[in-house]
Amino acid sequence: MRVIITKNYEELGKVASQHLLGTMFASQERVNLAITAGRTPLEVYKYLVPEVKDKNYLNHVHYYNFDEIPYKDNKQEGITIADLRRLYLNPANVLEENIHVLDGENYENQDNRIQNDGGLDSILLGVGADGHYCGNLPNTTTVNDYTSKVTFEDNPDLEQVIIDHFIDPKDAPDFYVTMGPRSIMSAKQLVLIANGREKSGIMKSFIEGEITPDLPVTYLKLHPNLVVIMDEEAASELN
């Protein structure tokens, strides 16, 4: 595990985007990246978008989403991919053929597809204050899982969390899908980013605490090529 503590969120965005660009430029062959939606990567994409936009020399880079909350009845693309399009894929003008959508239908094929595509070269992921990463929340998946469907039947607490993602609650599905711990740990590199004081508790647990199913993200510490990038606020509780 390599830990990089940046002075602020802006530097985090730069350093994470430099890691991703480094992976993109490291090979002339196809490069496969899974990238995160949500708030944490905003500053990453701010730096990344102009460097990638309309750059035909990056046409060998392919993108995957690693989780998805689909619309009920698939009336439109899911929450995650829509977010990724808005934040990064659209402003960066990424070729549609380089975008490999995980959705509520095709999730059982996600691990095979990625393996056939050559495996993931890097995953950019965030961490929740509750210790979740991707859709691996406490008590949903286990460390044994590959890409999985998580239903509310088994996780009633999640229902409201999911509904909150939708303007019209009637659009909310009764499940979501996520690449599981086994899927994520198969990538050649993991880049975990965390910023802000609200992440200082989980980052202290992550760096100094034990690996535990209560905080699914802690298992990522077992990856031999994990880079953790956090700003000083997220690192503020570390000894």
Q: Is 139 in the site for a second copy (CB under 8 A)?
A: no
- For the four alpha carbons of 143, 158, 125 and 231, in that order, the dihedral sign comes to negative
Q: Is 98 in the site for a second copy (CB under 8 A)?
A: no
Catalytic residue among 19, 62, 67, 231: 67
In angstroms, what CA-CA distances link 153 with 4, 150, 159, 180, 223? 40, 9, 9, 19, 32
Q: Which of 39, 108, 119, 174 binds a second copy (CB under 8 A)?
A: 119
Indicate the residue among 6 and 65 with the shorter CB distance to a second copy.
Answer: 6
Residues that contact a second copy, how many (by CB under 8 A): 37
Q: Is 187 in the site for a second copy (CB under 8 A)?
A: yes
Q: Which of 185, 236, 237, 238 binds a second copy (CB under 8 A)?
A: 185
Q: Is 210 in the site for a second copy (CB under 8 A)?
A: yes
Indicate the residue among 44 and 227 with the shorter CB distance to a second copy.
Answer: 227
Q: Is 188 in the site for a second copy (CB under 8 A)?
A: yes
Per the listing, tokens 């510490």 go with 221
130 assigned to active site: yes
Rg of the chain's alpha carbons, rounded to an integer? 17
Residues 6+ apart with CB under 8 A from 239: 208
Q: Is 57 in the site for a second copy (CB under 8 A)?
A: yes
CA distance linking residue 31 with residue 120, whole number of Å? 8
Residues 6+ apart with CB under 8 A from 66: 34, 36, 102, 123, 125, 134, 178, 179, 183, 184
Catalytic residue among 19, 62, 132, 223: 132
DSSP states of 5-34: EESSHHHHHHHHHHHHHHHHHT-SS-EEEE
Catalytic residue among 130, 154, 157, 214: 130
Which residues of this protein are in contact with a second copy, per CB under 8 A? 2, 4-5, 14-15, 18-19, 21-26, 28-29, 51, 57, 118-119, 142-144, 181-182, 185-188, 210-211, 219, 221-225, 227
- Residues classed as catalytic: 67, 130, 132
